[in-house]
Amino acid sequence: MGSKQTEGAGPAQPAAPTTLLRALGPADLAALMVNATIGSGILGLPGKLYALTGAYSLLVCLAGGVLVGLVAASFAAAASRFTSTGGATRFAHAAFGPAAGGIAGALALTSAAVSYAAIANLVLTYAAALLPGIDAGAARAAALAAITAALFTLVYRGVRLSARTHTVFAVVKFALLFGFAALALPAILRHPLPASPLPPAANWTPALVFMLYGLTGLESTVISNGEMRDPARDIPGALALGVIAVSTIYGVVLLACMATVPDLAHSSRPVYDGAREVGGAIAGALVIAGGCVSMLGVMFVIAFALPRIVFALAEAGQMPAALARLHTRFQTPHLAVRIIAPAAFCLAWSASFVTALQLAVLARLALYTLTALAAAVLARRGFAETATPLNLPGGALIPAAAALLCAALFARTLLS
C-alpha cells in the first residue's frame, strides 16, 4: 500500500505509521467469522424454519451450509489474492475498474450500516425483558449511544485490542449455545425427531432464504487483509472452518429446540422458550443476556469493518483522502472511526428493525453476486498481490454457481 498522512505528522511527533498493523492470525479470523454470522438469526430462526419445513429443517440447515460454502469459497478465492484492506471494494475495483469498486464499497457500507442499526434495535428489544423500558424514549437513546461509544472506542484503540474482543465475544457465543444444547441433551435423547409430513414445494425456498440470512456476514471477515499476517494462507482456512462451525452450531441448536419447545412452529423466541422449558426462569434469563451479548458481537464486527471500508475507498480516491489517515499510536483509520460512530448511532436511533433488515439483505446479496463474479474474473486473469492465491477446483464453476444463487435470492427478496 502507498503511504498515508497520519495524525500529528510533524517534526515533534513520533514516526508516523505508513501501513495498517498486521496483527490478525487464523484464530482471530475464525473468531471474526463466528461473530459475524452468529447473532440475531439463531435466536429466532429455528421457529421460522420449523414452521415451514418441520423436521426437515435439518436438511434446510445442511443445504444452507453448502450454499453459503459456495459464497465463502468465492470470497476466499478473491481475498487470497490481496494484501490490502477493503474486501469486496478491492476485489471489484481490480476485476472491473474504479466504478465497480465504488459500487461494491457503497453496497458494503449500506449493508453494514443498516445491519448495525437493525441489530442495535433488536438488542434493546431483547434487553427489555430484563430491563423494562430500555427500548423506548430517552433510555433507548442513551443505551444506543453508550453501546456505540463503547464498541467504536475499542475499534479506535487498535487491531490487537479488537482481536481480543472478537475472541471474547466468540467464546461467550459458544458457551451460550452449547450450554443450551447440553441442557437440552436429556430431552433430545428422550424424544426422537418428530414425524413430519413432506413440506409443500412452495415452503422450501423461503426456508432456504431464512437459513442463508442466518449464515451470512462472512464478507466482514475478509475486509481487513491489510491487518492480516498472511491473508493468502489464513483466509481460506478461516472461512472453511467458520462455515462448518457455524452450520454445525445452527444444526445443534435447531435439534435442541425441536426437543424442548412444545410449539416450535409458533415460537418467536425458541432458544429462550427451550431454555425456560428445561432450566426454568434462570436459564431463560441467561439466554436473554447471552443473546444480547451475541448480537453485540455482530455489532462489534460491523463497527470494526465500517471504518476499514471507508479507508479503502479513501485510498482509491473515491472518498476524501483524510479518511485514510492512520492514528500515530494505534495505527487505525481514526478519522473514519470518528465520523462513522455518530453516523451509526443516528441511523440506529432513527431506523426501524424491519426496514433496516430488508435493506441489509438486498445490499448483501448484491454484494455477494458482484464478489463472486470478481473472483472468477481475477482467477482467469491470474491477478494476485500474494504469492500463493487460492485457485478453486473447476475454475469459474463455484463462483458462477454462487453468483447465480445470490442473484436469484436477490430477485426473490426484492419481489417478495
Reported as a single tens digit per residue, the pLDDT across 48-68 is: 888 889 888 888 888 888 888
Per the prediction, the chain carries an average pLDDT of: 84
Query: Band of the pLDDT at 262, cuts 50, 70, 90?
Result: confident
Closest CA to 260 of 42, 11, 46, 25: 46
The pLDDT score that the predictor gives to residue 356 is: 65
Query: Band of the pLDDT at 100, cuts 50, 70, 90?
Result: very high
Mean pLDDT of 337-364: 81
The pLDDT score that the predictor gives to residue 9 is: 46
Query: Band of the pLDDT at 345, cuts 50, 70, 90?
Result: very high
For position 107, which CATH number holds? Answer: 1.20.1740.10
The pLDDT score that the predictor gives to residue 6 is: 46
The pLDDT score that the predictor gives to residue 357 is: 66
Task: Identify whether 14 is part of a domain.
Answer: no
Pick the range with the lowest mean pLDDT from 69-78, 358-367, 400-409: 358-367
The pLDDT score that the predictor gives to residue 311 is: 92
Task: Give the residue numbers spanning the domain of 404.
Answer: 29-384+391-415
Task: Identify whether 2 is part of a domain.
Answer: no
Reported as a single tens digit per residue, the pLDDT across 307-328 is: 999 999 998 888 999 998 888 8
Helix %, strand %, coil % of the chain (to 5): 75, 0, 25
Task: Identify whether 17 is part of a domain.
Answer: no
Q: Is the pLDDT of residue 94 over 80?
A: yes
The pLDDT score that the predictor gives to residue 101 is: 93
Higher pLDDT residue, 12 or 84?
84
The pLDDT score that the predictor gives to residue 1 is: 43
Task: Identify whether 15 is part of a domain.
Answer: no
Reported as a single tens digit per residue, the pLDDT across 137-192 is: 999 999 999 999 999 999 999 888 888 888 888 888 878 878 888 888 888 777 76
In the chain, what percentage of residues exceed pLDDT 70?
92
Query: Band of the pLDDT at 404, cuts 50, 70, 90?
Result: very high
Q: Is the pLDDT of residue 15 over 70?
A: no
Task: Identify whether 79 is part of a domain.
Answer: yes
Look at residue 15 and give its three-state secondary structure. Answer: coil
Number of domains making up the chain: 1
Query: Band of the pLDDT at 40, cuts 50, 70, 90?
Result: low
Mean pLDDT of 348-372: 79
Residues in the chain: 416
Plot region of 137 (φ>0 → left; ψ -120 to 50 → alpha; else → beta): left
Query: Band of the pLDDT at 3, cuts 50, 70, 90?
Result: very low
Task: Identify whether 123 is part of a domain.
Answer: yes
Task: Identify whether 109 is part of a domain.
Answer: yes
Q: Is the pLDDT of residue 414 over 80?
A: no
CA pseudo-torsion sign 103, 107, 110, 113: negative
Reported as a single tens digit per residue, the pLDDT across 378-389 is: 999 999 999 889
Query: Band of the pLDDT at 12, cuts 50, 70, 90?
Result: very low
Task: Identify whether 22 is part of a domain.
Answer: no
Which positions ≥6 away from 168 have C-beta within 8 Å?
A: none
- 3-state DSSP of the chain: CCCCCECCCCCCCCCCCCCCCCCECHHHHHHHHHHHHCCHHHHHHHHHHHHHHHHHHHHHHHHHHHHHHHHHHHHHHHHCCCCCCCCHHHHHHHHHCHHHHHHHHHHHHHHHHHHHHHHHHHHHHHHCCCCCCCCCHHHHHHHHHHHHHHHHHHHHCCHHHHHHHHHHHHHHHHHHHHHHHHHHHHHHHHCCCCCCCCCCHHHHHHHHHHHHHHHCCHHHHHCCHHHECCHHHHHHHHHHHHHHHHHHHHHHHHHHHHHHCCCHHHCCCHHHHHHHHHHHHHHHHHHHHHHHHHHHHHHHHHHHHHHHHHHHHHHCCCCCHHHHCECCCCCCCHHHHHHHHHHHHHHHHHCCHHHHHHHHHHHHHHHHHHHHHHHHHHHHHCCCCCCCCCCCCCCCHHHHHHHHHHHHHHHHHHHC
